Structure 1
Amino acid sequence: MADVGAQSQLIPNLPDDIALQCLARIPRSHHPTLSLVSKSWRSTLTSSPTLYNTRSLIRTTETFLYLSLRINSTFHWYTLVSHKLLFPVCSMPVKPIGPAFAVLGSKIYVIGGSIGEIPSNNVWVFDCRFNCWEMGPRMRIGREFAAAGVVNGKIYVMGGCVVDNWAKSMNWAEVFDPATGLWTALPSPIEVRDKWMHATAVVGARVYAMTDRGVVVYDVEGCQWGTVSKRLDLGWRGRAVVVGGVLYCYDYLGKIIGYDVKEDVWKELRGVDKGLPKFFCGATMVNFDDRLCVVWEGKGSGKEVDIMCAEIQVQRDEDGGLSGNILWSDMILVVPNGASIVQCLAVDL
């Protein structure tokens, strides 16, 4: 019996809780090789939530980039393990058009989107730890091209529907609490209820969404809707991301700019012009471990498109300006011509 007990241990003659802390310190890129050591190691590395809880507690989590691409009318998901190592991951069981995206912990939420040209209230959840999809709690109404943001561990979603009946009017905005697994209505004034949302960003406890008619903002802590300055409204173009309290996007000249909410001013990101192209369209930005990560569609050959990626360290200068240092920039994938970037997200695992 002693031999059997010894074999069941993760590391012989070492308590499993101590062994688990040892495994939790090993980079995730080595997990496929480590899973070959024994059945107990494979089970722990591929299906144990405790391992990832331990990684979080001892602060050994790593940030991974997840990328969704549309290729030949189908959607493909990838994860970037290192600068040039892009692995395909399990694709969604369905293919919604225009969903919203949010990251909670180790899970990616794909919210709504239209299926057969009908807005859906479905929520699909991808568990990045174990590379699997599951159906999440449905929203109260269907949405496509909605805005979604995460504040204090809850998902706030707004818009993406035509307010043509009582249910859509009362549920134009909703909030999801993972602790209860429920979506609840978020009261909203009629003047903010626009249909389409083109981009969203979270600054502090405020969810900003760019709509057809301007920018909508909801203050979670104050439980109130508000207006934004004219400078933010006129300067925000395309998808944006917040790094260090600054909202970054690209302007009409294709340059990366940053908006300081406190100062109410746009500033050009200096120091990156020589290493990056002009971003007139097709660029997606994400906060990658407090660094600015940009993914865009490069030129490629006539039949192919290069998916490019750059990681930029951004900072405030002594003169109040913004500057960036390109840590690396390279092609990470080659796809057929006509492919496009749907979304990129950063997940800590």
Structure 2
Amino acid sequence: MSKSAANEPPAKETSPSLFPSSSLPDTMDLSCLALVPRSDHAALSLVSKRFHSVLASQEFYKTRSLLGRTQEFLYVCLSTTPNPTPSWFLLRRETNKNQLIPIPSFPSQPETFSSFVALDWGIYVIGGFKDVRSPDVLLLDCRTNTWRKVPSMSVGRAAAAAGVIDGKIYVFGGCEELSSPNWAEVFDPNTQTWETLVPMDDRNEGDNVIRETLVMDKKVYAVDFWSGSLFYYSPGDGKWGRKKIPEQVQSYYCVMEKVLYGCDEVGNVVWRDSEELEWKRVKGLEALQWKRVRKLSSFGGNIGVFWVGLRGDVWCAEISLERREEEGEIWGRIEWSEAVATFYRSFTRTKVEVLYAAAVNV
């Protein structure tokens, strides 16, 4: 080896270009890939390990978001007894037919009482009950429809409150012991760490079992299972609080544009502004009455309403909303309504419950 060669600094390692024959910088290559429709991503990921890695990367998701190329997809989790493991689906919207398409489920997801939140490109399944309360947290990566575990909570939970504010996941309640010092925790996806919060001082047994969680005005609200009373945590000032019980407790909730929508189990859809207590009926939705409603979800600026038919079929209706300020009313319009999945069998009855539904942009 020559002396001059020995004194030369080592060459810097560079990552291979997405397109080896291209003279464009990798950022340009990434922008080109981001323009590819999501329906082609599965085939594109098979081209090479490099492509598969890029399509699952945070940079690719951010690039698609900046270019306005993300699409909204509705994910649904169902319990279909006697199947012990919850099943996951993606709503395929087509001109002549809307239907739930199965996607891989996590084989050891708890059977009941998990909490769910959607954040960025994923859905987190938090705790649940399977023989014991689970501290595990699962993440469904909606970019690739694959699962992985993330760091567990410090305590097992079932029927806990869970909500997202400013990119962090706040979880409280659902503990075996009401007096647990870890009764409330917050998860930071960026650092992949859990931090214990100061628990609510005046909590009682009813506060430990949560029926529904909703996020309004930068607060995580919990609806307790027994009385339907509302209490909340405000991350901005680190304080707990309580709200007066509304005149009518709803079974399911959905928040859109600072308006809280509720629905009972027989299809009556109501609304109120965040600071009001009195519910008002959403006009124009008489066709939903006496449906066995099981879940509400925001979806593309509209509301998705799910109910279960007598034959084990799952129905969905998409409702657009119009607020008429001069009348002080909100009117709903059913854009479409149909059975999106059927679990009826001739000799066995399948009990179906809608555990969760959420829209995710990927």
TM range (shorter): 0.7 to 0.9
The aligned residue for residue 102 of structure 2 is 88
CA apart distance, 1:48:
4.1
The answer to whether the Cα contact below 8 Å between 2:99 and 2:339 also exists between their aligned partners in 1 is no
Give the corresponding residue for 2:75.
66
Deviates further, 200-209 or 247-256? 247-256
CA distance in 2 between partners of 1:162 and 1:215 (Å):
21
Q: Partner of 2:258 in structure 1?
A: 245
Q: What RMSD in Å do the two structures reach over aligned CA positions?
A: 2.6
Aligned residues: 331
Residue identity matched to 1:286:
S
Cα 1:30–1:277 change in 2 (3 A) is farther
Aligned-partner Cα distance in 2 for 1:334–1:221:
44
Q: 1:326 aligns with which of 309, 331, 334?
A: 334
**Matched position secondary structure for 1:200:** strand
Give me the whole-angstrom Cα distance separating, in 2, the residues matched to 1:258 and 1:105.
Answer: 27
Q: Please give the alpha-carbon distance, in whole angstroms, between the structure 2 residues aligned to 1:94 and 1:271.
A: 42
Deviation digits for residues 142-195 of structure 1 (CA, Å, limit 9, x no counterpart): 110111111111111111124355xx1x21111111122121122123323422
Structure 1 or 2, whichever has the larger Rg, is 2
Quick one: which amino acid aligns to residue 343 of structure 2? Answer: V
1:70 touches 1:76 (CA, 8 Å); kept in 2? Answer: yes
SS in 1 for 2:359: strand
Alignment partner of 1:79 is 2:90: yes
TM-score (norm 1): 0.86
Offset at residue 59 of structure 1 (A): 2.2
Aligned partners of 2:53 and 2:195: how far apart in 1?
36
Q: Corresponding residue for 1:347?
A: 360
Report the Cα offset of residue 11 of structure 1: 8.7
- 2:115 aligned residue (100, 105, 125): 100
CA separation of 1:78/1:10 partners in 2, compared to 1, >3 Å: closer, same or farther? farther
Q: How far 1:19 sits from its partner (Å)?
A: 4.2
Residue type of the alignment partner of 2:150:
G
Question: How big is the shift at 1:8?
Answer: 6.0
What residue identity is the alignment partner of 1:57?
L
**Equivalent runs, 1:38-77 vs 2, <5 Å:** 38-39=47-48, 43=52, 46-71=55-80, 72=82, 73-77=84-88
Query: 1:251–1:238: structure 2 CA closer, same or farther, 3 Å change rule?
Result: closer
Partner Cα separation in structure 1 for residue 18 and residue 187 of structure 2 = 40
Structure 2 Cα separation of the partners of residues 59 and 287 of structure 1: 20
Cα offset, 1:127, TM superposition? 0.9
How many angstroms does 1:30 deviate by? 3.8
For the Cα contact (< 8 Å) 2:271–2:280, is it kept in 1? yes
Give the structure 2 partner of residue 147 of structure 1.
Answer: 161
CA contact (8 A) 2:321 2:332 kept: yes
2:203 to 183, 188, 192: 192
> Given residue 357 of structure 2, which amino acid in structure 1 is its aligned partner?
C
- State the distance in 1 between where 2:113 and 2:140 align: 17
2-structure distance, mates of 1:312, 1:110: 27
Secondary structure in 2 matching 1:190: coil
The answer on whether the counterparts of 2:123 and 2:139 sit within 8 Å (CA) in structure 1 is: yes
2:217 paired with 1:207: no
- Look up the match of 1:3: none
- For structure 2, the 5+ residue unaligned runs are 1-15, 345-349
Secondary structure of the residue that 1:95 maps to in structure 2?
coil
The two structures have a TM-score, normalised by structure 2, of 0.83
